[in-house]
Chains A and B, each alone.
Chain A
Amino acid sequence: MDAILLQILNGLDKGSAYALIALGLTLIFGTLGVVNFAHGALFMIGAFCAVTLQRILNLSFEFVDETQTDFLGNPLKVKTPYVEAWFGPDIGGSIIDWAVPLAILFAIPIMIGVGYVMERGLIKHFYKRPHADQILVTFGLAIVLQEVVKYFYGANPIQTPAPDTLNGVVNLGAAIGMDIVYPVWRVVYFFFAVLIIGGIFCFLQFTTFGMVVRAGMADRETVGLLGINIDRRFTIMFGIAAAVAGLAGVMYTPINSPNYHMGMDFLVLSFVVVVVGGMGSLPGAVLAGFLLGVLESFASMNEVKSLLPGIDQIIIYVVAIIILLTRPRGLMGRKGVMEE
């Protein structure tokens, strides 16, 4: 029982990442009709916002300590971060410690900016082009972004730890008399995802801006005829989608150390999630994200694996095939979106 609850938690946690990426992707893919292969790269850039902030906070000045030597026998250069020198080791240290949460503030403007530039500079010209061209250009862009990051940060994973106080484990089952020990940061990640997803839905549901965007998704031409500048709003939506992917990346860094190809690792999966959820459906994408996350976790349980060896390798795809064969437009897809 504990084991199953634990796997449900794991699944929800994985699902949070899937859902956040898929949510951003479906905003672009299901509504603007652009097949964005660079969406994984946006997730990756978000993660590297955290890495960059950590680097900035760790910017140090050096002084030579004659008493110690480095590996070549030369005097050791001791580095002290500026932040620690300015605010004292205690406050400075904790600022550095909280680099990842602080990176949220840092990442939002950057990601919106990246999204804005991407849409205005490139994607805009591809709305009317065939999907094939969109794939080629966004794939090219994804490679370029990825290689630029690799050039500056290398190919190895870079550790970006969570703040110390959020690093340990918490017993979630204590209240109901069970022993369910779970990492604090993963709990934080889950609630963060719920918050973002809720925020996006509220924004689209309860604001005039959101209403116009939803109307534009349903029938772009008519909204345009009403004299509303839908293009500008779509640009903003693109920026928001980029920010969602980026924030998913920022918060993901303490869970797994980021590397330059993490976006590609998530890319295929996020497309599967969006399509399983159904094209053009935001709730569908979120639902599919959590569903696939939970099923993936169950499939990796030893009991399941001993029954069906290798099932954890393919579960996502098996589920995708079953759902698409039984429900022609995924879980909650709209008719006519990307079906031709």
Chain B
Amino acid sequence: MSNFDASRRRVLKTGAIAGAGVALPTIFTASSAAAFTNEPTGGSVTLGFNVPQTGPYADEGADELRAYELAVEHLNGGGDGGMMNTFSSKALQGNGILGKKVEYVTGDTQTKSDAARASAKSMIEKDGAVMITGGSSSGVAIAVQGLCQEAGVIFMAGLTHSNDTTGKDKKANGFRHFFNGYMSGAALAPVLKNLYGTDRVAYHLTADYTWGWTQEESIAAATEALGWQTVNKVRTPLAATDFSSYIAPVLNSGADVLVLNHYGGNMVNSLTNAVQFGLREKVVNGKNFEIVVPLYSRLMAKGAGENVKGIHGSTNWHWTLQDEGSKAFVKSFGTKYGFPPSQAAHTCYVQTLLYADAVERAGSFNPCAVAEALEGFEFDGMGNGPTLYRAEDHQCFKDVLVVRGKENPTSEFDLLEVVEVTPRAQVEYAPDHPMFAGGNLGSCNPGA
């Protein structure tokens, strides 16, 4: 027992041998000496990166993982430091977190809530991860967030856009940097009004699960406030691959705008099908027919190719942004991997830095201390302008981008162009907004 640079387990073991062997059974780990779950006691701290590595979102997951690896490199003082140089908080020194070297474990969510929880549990129970982050869908984010709450570790959500993540399913240990359905609606509405006027008839096609529903509700509310009518909201099965039979009725419905509340493969297929049916050349009610994709992802837009040209949507972040933080991030990511990062990569990178910074400022890895440091935290220099992590629901408030499929892309990454940066004030809402009502943050759980 002379070697004290060792991992959590070795220290646990020391404690156990020292006579704590008969301690009362505790939660998730047996270290009754620890103040909270997986308290890092050695010279390193382990973070858990839980991303989809198999299944339809595997490419997005791979990009998230790249961002995490970059963030770990920067936290440990490697590379050019990326956004650490532009971040308004200067607590991070490039010497790990609280002087402990950052290590990480990875897992596969498979984009299934069960598998994601199993993977997160193994990181907590086996590897001693003190924070879990990542994911590419709201179902997974909510499921893992619930697990982290029970286990007493911090969850820094990856890509999750459903209102529920910080609405009815919000948790004290969970934090979301990504924007949500309501914000998409609030950001898109004024742009749509300028482009297409106030006298429009919208037809919604919506992926038939909770994320789709919250986005449909948000967009419909925002556009109806402009004076638009909603003629129909049609739910499409998740497993649908050919959307022709859902697109065909749009032709004769009298609608002149089609809103596609789809993501990933669904979005690629429904948009491709809509364009195939000649919707974009149609003239209805004396106006050009328009298609709107409220949640854009550049990685996915690539699959729809030519079809995205001129189609509007919103996105959390885009690599062409010219603020210092975004430029620094694109530079270090691009230098390391040879292509620009996606919005998912950006969110994951920022979430890791925000967590590390909160730990530094709190002076402890204790989830309750970290949560306190993140709640109401105002920062800048991470892209998207001045940002607030709101205490009431753990949602980030920042500028939202309205983007359009680019007509003349110069490269395979240059698919979207930013039409407008919607200021934060315009997308803010009260914590008790009806679309987010019904949840309860609960109290923070440090585990042990």
Contact = CB atoms under 8 A, between A and B. Distances in A.
A301 B245 contact: yes
Contact of A256 (B234, B272, B335, B340): B272
26 contacts: A6-B248, A7-B245, A71-B330, A71-B340, A150-B58, A155-B57, A156-B302, A157-B265, A157-B303, A159-B302, A159-B304, A161-B306, A181-B251, A181-B277, A186-B244, A255-B273, A255-B276, A256-B241, A256-B269, A257-B305, A300-B236, A300-B246, A301-B249, A302-B234, A302-B249, A305-B234
Contact of A169 (B59, B278, B411): B278
B251 A6 contact: yes
A7 B248 contact: yes
Contacts of B242: 13-14, 17, 255-256
A2 interface: yes
Interface in A290-315: 296-297, 300-302, 305, 310, 312-313
Contacts of A302: 232, 234, 249
Size bracket, chain A contacts: 35 or more
A76 interface: yes
Interface residues of B, number: 50
Interface in A110-169: 150, 154-159, 161, 167-169
Given A68-B410, A150-B58, A262-B241, A159 B249 contact: no
A168 B306 CA distance: 13
A156 B303 contact: yes
B208 interface: yes
User: What are the nearest 6 A-B pairs in CB distance?
Assistant: A159-B305, A157-B303, A155-B58, A169-B278, A297-B245, A183-B276
B334 A14 contact: no
Contacts of B307: 159
Interface string A205-239: 00000000000000000000000000000000000
Interface string B48-89: 000000011111100000000000000000000000000000
Contacts of B59: 154-156
B196 interface: no
B334 A257 contact: no
Interface of B: 55-60, 208, 232, 234-237, 239, 241-242, 244-246, 248-249, 251-252, 265, 268-269, 272-273, 276-278, 281, 299-300, 302-307, 319-320, 330-331, 334-335, 340, 410-411, 413-414
A169 B277 contact: yes
A11 B245 contact: yes
A259 interface: yes
Contacts of A265: 239, 241
Nearest to A2: B252
Contacts of B236: 300, 312
B278 A183 contact: yes
A25 B249 CA distance: 33
Contacts of A72: 330-331, 334-335
Contacts of B249: 3, 301-302
Contacts of A39: none
A182 B58 CA distance: 34
